[in-house]
Amino acid sequence: MRTHWFTPWLYVIPALATLVFFLIYPSFNTLVISFFGPQSEKLVGFANYIYCFTNEIMLSAFRNNLLWVALFVPLTVFLGLILAVILDRVRYESLVKSIIFMPMAISFVGAGVIWKFVYSYRPTGSAQIGILNAFLTFLGRQPIPWLIERPWINNICLIIVGIWIWTGFCLVVLSASYKGIPRELLEAARVDGANEYRIFWKITLPLMKPTVAVVATTMFINVLKVFDIVYVMTNGAFSTEVIANRMYKEMFIFRNYGRASAIASLLLLFIIPMIIINVQRFREQEAFR
Amino acid sequence: MIAKQNRFLLSLPLHIFIILVALIWIFPTAGLLITSFRPASEVASSGWWTVFANPFDFTQFTLSNYKDVITNIGIGRAFVNTLIITIPACIIPIIIASFAAYAFAWMEFWGRRFFFILFVGLLVVPLQMTLIPILRIFNQLGLSGSFLGIWLAHAGYGLPLVIYLMYNFVSGLPSEIFESATIDGATTFQIFKSIVLPLSVPALASITIFQFIWVWNDLLVALVYLGGTPDVAPLTVRISALVGSYGQNWELLTAAAFVSMLLPLIIFLSLQRYFVRGILAGSIKG
């Protein structure tokens, strides 16, 4: 479209200005602050970063985020993939999809309350009102303080909440991709005598690979930034700390902006590969004429 | 007939698996919903599933928890605050993004490609990178703790995705429309107002729902820029504070949580199609 040279800028500048003010400038500023003391009064070099990699709670936060990555990412993607394929064969597909997708609509805070109740624990002898411990008691076992039992059980319990929330996202995106595979392709393989298992690994999965990659990177980014679930359910107590919650605490409880900025910068550092992948994928798609 | 029966038997494990998964997904929410309608004494002494012993005995249910949380614990106020926060926080970025997406899709200008790729890169920058500098600026300007501050913050954070989604839609409109409108002497703004926006209604609907649910459910941005003052705190902030102070009053916590879930659930159930479309179009975002 032919326009005056300045016309496009009238349309773009509000967006550009907002992004510069809320994303670009602050990001650079945070990088700078991360080399300064608690209230940015004096330069401290790499001290805040050294703190991140030597402090015990920070190290446990890194370990926990790693556990989140190792369990949350494969399980959400795998569950989403399996459900996308098998739900395609049943008539009540859309109903089950809605059920699994529903947690995406509610807040992580709401989900935190829901699951804190599921995990709720009372000492042996009193009536258990959390369904998990009621079930254990029913089986004649001892109840378990799910969110206190460190370091594995409580972290895994939190990760399950994340999986409950995000599997629906994976399912919806992967299901759309699965339905895009030409049915004749799968039929032809069946006629040739391939079993369903082989078809999944040799045809379905390779064709869905780009979408699986998108979903997996999205889940990876989510997991690095996981905050609300931990903040509401344990607030990092009993070795359940994660990077983003630690950043919040350094910022708001301890008022140490230097350390908080260093933690945020590390978070960005871990996400940068994803930014590059995103931009490259975008260029490959040639979505931009 | 036999073949049909065989197929059913073969797929039986499949059905059982699916139904089991669906039940696992429903159970936690069902527990929350039922508990929120039970009297405090009952909630503290027996599990929510015991209501199924006499499912038609409606005397075991009560609305008093809702009355309590809405009037006495400030959830009513928090609900109103959340609405006040969410509506402008949806409208502002969508207006800004529509203008930008139109220019990116249909105008030629220097740096067009560069800026757009910059936006795509910004899609996944963690919010944490921006909190401290903006909080400082907000403190200086007196914007922290104010609705105006959080509207602008949500507008900024939502913008990259909204631009991206709008661009995908607007750039897909047929170029003939633009050519013939230009020949007829329409200005760029006339084209935007009377062609691009009306044609973008389906996309705008998806994007609005997406941004609405995102802002409605946000905790971090509200915690940082609004703080916990009951005058301005949204539901998420209020409820996470309740988890600390009313940790064992499950009848109150569950009622409060359900109040916060009500509107997103209604939107989700009635407009799921648009929500899904938004998610599919935006699945690049983190």
> Which positions of chain A have pLDDT values less than 70?
1-2, 286-289
Q: What is the pLDDT of residue A2?
A: 63
Residue pairs spanning A and B at CB distance below 8 A = 304
Does A78 reach chain B within 8 Å, measured CB to CB? no
Q: Do A22 and B130 lie within an 8 Å CB cutoff?
A: yes
Which of B47, B129, B223 faces A26 most closely, judged by CB atoms? B129
Residue with tokens 């631009």, as numbered in its chain? B163
Per-domain residue ranges of chain A: 40-284
A18–B254: do the CB atoms touch at under 8 Å?
Answer: no
The half-sphere exposure of B242 on its side-chain side, counting CA atoms within 13 A, is 30
Provide the residue count of chain A: 289
Residue of chain B whose alpha carbon sits nearest to that of A281? B284
- φ/ψ bin of A35: left (φ > 0), alpha (ψ from -120 to 50), beta (otherwise): alpha
CATH classification of B72-281, choosing from 3.20.20.80, 1.10.3720.10, 3.50.50.60, 2.70.70.10? Answer: 1.10.3720.10
Q: Tokens at residue A265, please?
A: 């910068």
How far apart CA B153 and CA A184 sit, in angstroms, is 49
Say what the pTM is: 0.90
CB distance A2–B182 less than 8 Å?
yes
User: Contact A176/B130, CB-based, under 8 Å?
Assistant: no
Instruction: Determine the pLDDT at residue B155.
Output: 94
Distance CA(B283)–CA(B286), nearest Å, equals: 8
CB contact under 8 A, A279 and B121: yes
Q: CA A20 to CA A11: how far, in whole Å?
A: 15
Cα–Cα dist A127/A151, whole Å = 26
Nearest to A82 by CA among A206, A159, A165, A170: A170
For A173, the closest chain B residue by CA position comes to B280
Using CA atoms, how far residue A264 sits from A275, B55, B130, B131, B217, in Å, is: 16, 51, 9, 9, 22
CB contact, 8 Å: A197 with chain B?
A: no
* Chain B environment of A34 (Cβ under 8 Å): none
Q: Tell me if chain B has a CB within 8 Å of the CB of A66.
A: no
User: Other CB atoms closer than 10 Å to residue A89's CB: what's the count?
Assistant: 12
> Which ipTM score applies to this complex?
0.89
Residue B151 confidence (pLDDT): 95
Residue A251 C-beta-side C-alpha neighbours within 13 Å: 28
Whole-number pLDDT of residue B1: 45
Please judge whether B260 and A107 are an interchain contact, meaning their C-beta atoms are less than 8 angstroms apart.
Answer: yes
Give the integer Cα–Cα distance in Å for A244 and A49. 15
Among the partner residues B15, B18, B156, nearest to A19 by beta-carbon distance: B156
**Residue B74, CA distances (Å) to A106, B116, B252, B259 in order:** 20, 43, 12, 12
**Residue A115 and residue B267: Cβ atoms within 8 Å?**
no
Q: What is the b/e burial string over B111-147, where b = at least 16 CB atoms within 10 angstroms of the residue's CB?
A: ebeebbebbbbbbbbbbbbbbbbbbbbbeeeebbbeb
DSSP state of A150: T
Instruction: Report the C-alpha gap between A276 and A172 in whole angstroms.
Output: 25
Mark which residues 207-266 of A lie under 8 Å from B by CB.
214-215, 217-218, 220-222, 224-225, 227-228, 231-233, 244, 247-248, 251-252, 257, 260-261, 263-265
Q: Distance from A92 to chain B by nearest Cα, in Å?
A: 10
- Helix, strand or coil for residue B229? coil
Fold of A40-284: MetI-like fold (1.10.3720)
Q: Smallest Cα–Cα separation from B16: which of A86, A134, A174?
A: A86
- Contacts for B266 with CB less than 8 Å, ≥ 6 apart: none
Report residue A112 as tokens: 């935190």
- Residue B181 makes CB contacts below 8 A (sequence gap 6+) with B190, B191, B195
Nearest CA in chain B to A249: B224
Closest approach of chain A CAs to the CA of B49, in angstroms? 8
Candidates B31, B182, B268; nearest CB to A105: B268
Residue A287's pLDDT is: 53
A65 and chain B in contact, CB less than 8 A: no
pLDDT along chain B (286 residues), means of 10: 57 89 93 91 84 80 89 91 95 95 90 88 89 94 92 94 90 88 88 91 89 93 88 92 85 93 91 80 54
Contact across the interface for B113 and A288, Cβ inside 8 Å: yes
* B276 contacts A114? CB cut-off 8 A: no
Q: Are A261 and A31 in contact (CB under 8 A)?
A: yes
Instruction: Choose the mutation target among A20, A32, A90, A109 for the interface with B, i.e. most B CBs under 10 Å.
Output: A109
